[in-house]
Every structure is written in structure tokens, then in C-alpha cells.
């Protein structure tokens, strides 16, 4: 499964509101087993890849779906703690 998260990082949100959003995204991501799928092994368990896009005036792709060469949530936890 692929999951793409789109975050509003405009100045319409207060820092507290933005932080609540980040905490929500982390809670959602922690629910899944984040890892790349193995296309060479059809019997491999279904893994989840996560992408992250932040937008304000423009969209910024923070994490690409195919960037998940890791087996846990690393970049999601560190990629978007501050609004732009």
C-alpha cells in the first residue's frame, strides 16, 4: 500500500495546530509497517510506503514513495516539524 500525506504548512495554522497535525501523522504512520515492497517476492508481506508533501504557497515533496530504503518511520519523524 502507498500512503501520501499532504500537510498544510501555511501561516493559516498556529504552531500548536501544526504540531497537532504532525503528531496525528506520526500516530498514523506508527500504525503501519513502513518498508519498501519486494517486487521480486510475491509472497512477501504487504508493506507500506509513505510519501510526504508540504504546501503553503507551493507544494514541496519532502519524502518520495520510493525513498523508503529503510524499515521504519525515520524520515516521517524528522522531515516536517516546522511550518514553512
Which CATH number fits the domain that encloses residue 44? 3.40.50.410
Q: Is the pLDDT of residue 31 over 70?
A: yes
Question: What is the pLDDT confidence band of residue 64, given thresholds at 50, 70 and 90?
Answer: confident
Q: Can you tell me the mean pLDDT for 32-44? A: 68
Q: What is the pLDDT of residue 73?
A: 47
- Mean pLDDT, rounded, of the chain: 74
The pLDDT > 70 percentage for the chain reads 65
Q: How many folded domains does the chain comprise? A: 1
CB neighbours of 1 closer than 8 A, spacing ≥ 6?
Answer: 32, 46, 47, 48, 49
Per the domain annotation, does 83 fall within a domain? no
Per the domain annotation, does 84 fall within a domain? no
Q: Hunting for cell 529503510 — which residue is that?
A: 70
CB neighbours of 53 closer than 8 A, spacing ≥ 6?
Answer: 4, 5, 6, 7, 59, 60, 61, 62
Amino acid at each position: 500500500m502507498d500512503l501520501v500525506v499532504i500537510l498544510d504548512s501555511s501561516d493559516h495554522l498556529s504552531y500548536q495546530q501544526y504540531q497537532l497535525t504532525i503528531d496525528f501523522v506520526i500516530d498514523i504512520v506508527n500504525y503501519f509497517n513502513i518498508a519498501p515492497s519486494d517486487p521480486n517476492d510475491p509472497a512477501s508481506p504487504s508493506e507500506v510506503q509513505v510519501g510526504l508533501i508540504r504546501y503553503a504557497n507551493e507544494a514541496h515533496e519532502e519524502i518520495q514513495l520510493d525513498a523508503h530504503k529503510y524499515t521504519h518511520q525515520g524520515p516521517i519523524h524528522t522531515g516536517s516539524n516546522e511550518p514553512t
